[in-house]
Structure 1
Amino acid sequence: MFKTLWLTGLRWLWLVVIISICDMYSKYWIMHHMFLHETYHFIPFFNLLYLHNYGAIFSFLSDQNGWQRWFFISITLIIVIELLMMMYCNHASNKIANIAYALLIGGAIGNLLDRIRYGFVIDFIDFYICRWHFAIFNFADCTICIGTILLIIKKFNFRDESS
């Protein structure tokens, strides 16, 4: 059975583990080295800004009374299960799709663990231009975006990867 799983996209689950660990460590470091709402200025367009996000992307639904926590946990679990099934159905040699799925799953698990443990997601990456600040995000959000971009590239790339 293990040999059969090794031939599927689940072979790339090691990447999910690495992403989840990096995300958890980065958030641990922020929580233990910064105060909530504290800003650390790096360079003219990048700060570390420690925030708690009770919503989703761009703080969507963050102003609700707590039901959104369980909603986002449920949605994330469904998405992770679906992506794992897609990896299982993929051949291991389908690298771009499997890496994209692993990036998505790893990022989703990182944010899921925050929601389960704390009821919010820890965000800290702040890019800005002059006074305009992009949404504050975290390492897991970066991997989710990269995974999505890879899937879009894969969708428009019609050559066979396995050859």
Structure 2
Amino acid sequence: MNTSHLRWLWLSLGIIVLDQVSKYWAEYILRGDVIEIFSWFDLSLVHNTGAAFGFLAGYGGWQHVFFVSLAVLVSVVLAVAISRLQDHERHLAVAYALIIAGAIGNAIDRIVHQYVVDFIHWFYQDWHYPHFNVADSAIFIGAALLIFEAFGRPFLNTGQEHENSSG
């Protein structure tokens, strides 16, 4: 067990704090208001009782327990995974820490409010991307890093492996 990688959980904590502070701000500043940043981007408050893209919203409340339990389970599994990483796998520790932060940030909302506070909104004319928050962004970036690790990194390493094998 490599406990030195557990320091990446400080990154998780920092993002959780940023997420909660931004949601607190959104709840009190944006209530009923829209702050237009650009013609295609604004800050506007939405209470999401579902998951990503409103998945399972309006199903009587059982989904809150499910999503909180899932967030705790994923966070524990990823924290254990972080502790087992090798020194050269710091990028995975960062990805896992980001996902943990997002999962816990949204779980806090579900426990406290019974919904997730979303307030970041991208759109173009009649097309609207679902509202999201800092926690969602952390999950997205962490997942993107994992996808890059799984699919992108082998392509980057192909030339090095070829050079090393030729000798």
TM-score, normalized by length of structure 1? Answer: 0.89
Q: Which residue of 2 is the match for residue 71 of structure 1?
A: 66
Moved more, 10-19 or 90-99: 90-99
* 1:105 maps to 2:103: no
C-alpha distance in 1 between matches for 2:7 and 2:43: 34
Contact 1:69–1:119 under 8 Å retained in 2: yes
Alignment map for 1:118-133 (pairs within 5 Å):
118-133=113-128
C-alpha distance in 2 between matches for 1:104 and 1:143: 6
> Which is richer in helix?
2
Q: Larger C-alpha radius of gyration, 1 or 2?
A: 2
Correspondence for 1:25 among 21, 24, 35: 21
Alignment map for 1:11-160 (pairs within 5 Å):
11-36=7-32, 38-156=33-151, 157-158=153-154, 159=157
Correspondence for 1:5 among 3, 6, 14: 3
Contact 2:30–2:43 under 8 Å retained in 1: no
C-alpha distance in 2 between matches for 1:53 and 1:81: 24
RMSD of aligned alpha carbons: 1.5
Contact 2:122–2:129 under 8 Å retained in 1: yes
Q: Which residue identity lines up with residue 93 of structure 2 in the other structure?
A: N
TM-score, normalized by length of structure 2? Answer: 0.87
Q: SS where residue 43 of structure 2 aligns? A: strand
Divergent runs of 4+, >4 A:
none
C-alpha distance in 2 between matches for 1:146 and 1:92: 21
What displacement does 1:85 show?
A: 1.1
What displacement does 1:91 show?
A: 2.5
Moved more, 85-94 or 41-50: 85-94
Count of residue correspondences: 154
Contact 1:52–1:121 under 8 Å retained in 2: yes
Q: Which stretches in structure 1 are left out of the alignment for 5+ residues?
A: none
Contact 1:92–1:98 under 8 Å retained in 2: no
Q: Which stretches in structure 2 are left out of the alignment for 5+ residues?
A: 158-167
C-alpha distance in 2 between matches for 1:114 and 1:59: 15
What displacement does 1:93 show?
A: 3.7
Contact 1:11–1:92 under 8 Å retained in 2: no
C-alpha distance in 1 between matches for 2:91 and 2:36: 35
Q: Which residue identity lines up with residue 24 of structure 2 in the other structure?
A: Y
